[in-house]
Amino acid sequence: MTLTLRQADPEDAEHIARVVRAVSGGVADFLLAGASLFVSPERLLASLIMETGNPFSYENALLLEHNSTLAGLLLSYPWEQHAVPDILRKIVPKKRLAVIDGLLQMADAQSLYINTIWVDEPYRGTGTADDLLECAFLMATQLHLAKVSLHVWADNTRAVRFYRRHGFVPARHFDVPRQRLLPHDGGNFLMSREVGQTAGISREGQETP
């Protein structure tokens, strides 16, 4: 099975938006539901991805493909870019942003921040997620960043276990009240791992977040 990694382009925005929305743990819908009477949350997100100069931009996305079919996604960027885009501040109520302020604006200093890492079902358990993580660490090295960081819901035990086994440790914890569109208990962790750290993990039977 041959997988090809490539830089995303604007035409990939809808595919990227679909994945980001699905794996955000409800964050995308929580922020964007009701923001427009005529445009769905997924379409709003796609519009943001098509633009440049914001953290969700296609410029920050790498796509893993098998025979032109999307198999994996890595959306990442330097930690100082992890912030709420101006357009979201205009259309999302301040109280809603405040509920998940830590998730939206906090990344470990001097890290490459992983916004989204995803592998499609047929490719899980094959080491593909490991390869995407390795890409993130290579990118961090190229950017002279010391760490890789990401957010994960505390009750997503499978993802937490996956990242712990790859050497990530909690850097901060954020209390997030359970909401209708954020059905999580236990809040959210910011986890990070140093670039030079060796996790020493077998690729066989790995779980995928």
Report pLDDT for 207.
54
Cβ burial, residue 95 (10 Å; 0-12/13-18/19+): exposed
In sign, the C-alpha dihedral spanning 18, 178, 85, 170 is negative
Strands 61-66 and 69-78: antiparallel
Laid out side by side, the sheet with 169-174 consists of 4-7, 61-66, 69-78, 111-119, 147-153, 188-194, 169-174
Report pLDDT for 196.
84
- Alpha-carbon distances of 79 from 43, 109, 165, rounded to whole Å: 26, 6, 23
Distance CA 50, CA 55 (A): 11
Report pLDDT for 22.
95
pLDDT band at 34 (very low <50, low <70, confident <90, very high): confident
Q: How many structural domains is the chain composed of?
A: 1
Q: Is residue 208 part of a domain?
A: no
Q: Is residue 201 part of a domain?
A: no
Q: Is residue 206 part of a domain?
A: no
Tens-digit pLDDT profile for residues 17-33: 999 999 999 999 999 98
> Residue 61's beta-bridge partner residues?
75
Closest CA to 114 of 65, 81, 85: 81
Q: Is residue 203 part of a domain?
A: no
Tens-digit pLDDT profile for residues 51-75: 999 999 999 999 999 998 999 999 9
Q: Is residue 98 part of a domain?
A: yes
Q: Is residue 140 part of a domain?
A: yes
Tens-digit pLDDT profile for residues 155-202: 999 999 999 999 999 999 999 999 999 999 999 999 999 998 766 544
Q: Is residue 131 part of a domain?
A: yes
Q: Whole-model pTM?
A: 0.92
Tell me the average pLDDT across 130-150: 97
* Domain span including residue 62: 4-194
Report pLDDT for 199.
60
- What does DSSP assign to residue 164? H
* Domain of residue 113, CATH code: 3.40.630.30
Q: Is residue 64 part of a domain?
A: yes
Tens-digit pLDDT profile for residues 94-119: 999 999 999 999 999 999 999 999 99
